[in-house]
């Protein structure tokens, strides 16, 4: 089975980072007729008839030029403007989560470019002043660095590692093997997903899996194995997927981050997903990939 989280990362562009400070090269590529630009207003993009609106550099507004990289012989850019551009033009502008439905079919190839562009846009939006002295920041390196005009310190984009895990109990592959899913109190009835959380300073990824599951569901996890990862700039995360084996099975939820956690056998998961009483994550999420990997086949329904 090919999992959706792999598709979102499968066609990565060449980021050509060695050219980010080469002004002559950047100017030449900006003037190239093959170059394409994604316009980002604040942290939002406006799809056109369900497609991502790549435009020629001549048609892009003023803003911070961000070099994304090369793909298929063409240089791809983003131009980050202020949020006023979205309010001054017709049509709906969406943040990344709202754009995910457009990243399907042939356009799934654009996902790494879009994640790159909006990840940097979120960083530019949130990083307004130097965290050391409060000075003014100016973009450099084709939008990938911010330098303080007061103390000279350079800021770089950050990525927060987040673990997301499918925890199972019982004999692997047996009819009574179960997996653990939880639900947030903000979600509609029936919606469940894998547990997840952020890695803390000085903590290994495997220990983050064990800690988060223990904190949220009271389950002790033993063996933890790596599954895969997915860029998830919402606003600046990298989702690292794991499979874990439960040592205990008595659920004791924290009532803070989740309101319910349950064990599901494959038969229960199939029957409830079919009748709609269990609503699983969408196909674009690594959570869905984890669930279907454990289940062993595609499942009906999604958020």
Burial 160-181 (b: 16+ CB within 10 A, else e): eebbbbbbbbbeeeeeebbbbb
- Angstrom distance (rounded) from CA 41 to CA 79: 8
Q: What domains can be seen in the chain, in order of their start residue?
A: 4-126 (3.90.79), 129-158 (no CATH), 160-295 (3.90.79.10)
| Peptide bond connecting 235 to the previous residue in cis, omega within 30 degrees of 0 | yes
Residues 79 and 65: beta-carbon distance below 8 Å? yes
pLDDT along the chain (303 residues), means of 10: 56 93 98 97 89 93 97 96 84 86 80 93 95 96 98 95 97 96 94 97 97 97 95 88 97 90 97 96 86 94 79
Residue 15 burial by Cβ neighbours in a 10 Å radius (0-12, 13-18, 19+): middle
Residue 189 burial by Cβ neighbours in a 10 Å radius (0-12, 13-18, 19+): exposed
**pLDDT at position 160:** 94
Q: How many CA atoms lie within 13 A of 144 on its CB side?
A: 14
- Angstrom distance (rounded) from CA 58 to CA 33: 9
Residues 293 and 3: beta-carbon distance below 8 Å? yes
């Amino acid at each position: 089975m090919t999992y959706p989280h792999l598709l979102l990362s499968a066609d990565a562009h060449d980021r050509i980072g060695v050219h980010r400070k080469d002004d002559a090269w950047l100017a030449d590529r900006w003037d190239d007729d093959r170059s394409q630009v994604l316009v980002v207003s604040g942290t939002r993009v406006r799809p056109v008839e369900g497609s991502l609106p790549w435009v020629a550099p001549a048609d892009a507004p003023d803003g911070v030029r961000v070099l994304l990289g090369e793909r298929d012989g063409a240089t791809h850019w983003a131009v980050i403007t202020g949020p006023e551009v979205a309010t001054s033009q017709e049509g709906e502008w969406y943040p990344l989560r709202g754009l995910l439905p457009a990243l399907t079919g042939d356009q799934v190839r654009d996902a790494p470019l879009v994640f790159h562009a909006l990840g940097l846009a979120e960083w530019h939006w949130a990083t307004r002043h130097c965290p050391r002295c409060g000075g003014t920041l100016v973009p450099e390196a084709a939008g990938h660095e911010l330098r303080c005009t007061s103390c000279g310190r350079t800021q770089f984009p950050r990525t927060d590692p987040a673990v997301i895990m499918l925890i199972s109990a019982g004999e692997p592959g047996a009819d009574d093997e179960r997996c653990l899913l939880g639900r947030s109190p903000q979600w509609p009835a029936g919606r469940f997903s894998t547990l997840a959380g952020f890695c803390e300073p000085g903590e290994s990824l495997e220990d983050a899996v064990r800690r988060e599951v223990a904190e949220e569901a009271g389950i002790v996890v033993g063996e933890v194995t790596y599954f895969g990862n997915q860029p998830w700039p919402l606003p600046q995360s990298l989702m690292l997927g794991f499979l874990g084996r439960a040592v205990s099975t008595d659920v004791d939820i924290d009532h803070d981050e989740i309101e319910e956690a349950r064990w599901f056998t494959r038969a229960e998961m199939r029957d409830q997903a079919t009748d709609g009483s269990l609503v699983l994550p969408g196909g674009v999420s690594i959570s869905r990939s984890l669930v279907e990997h454990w289940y062993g086949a595609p499942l009906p329904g999604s958020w």
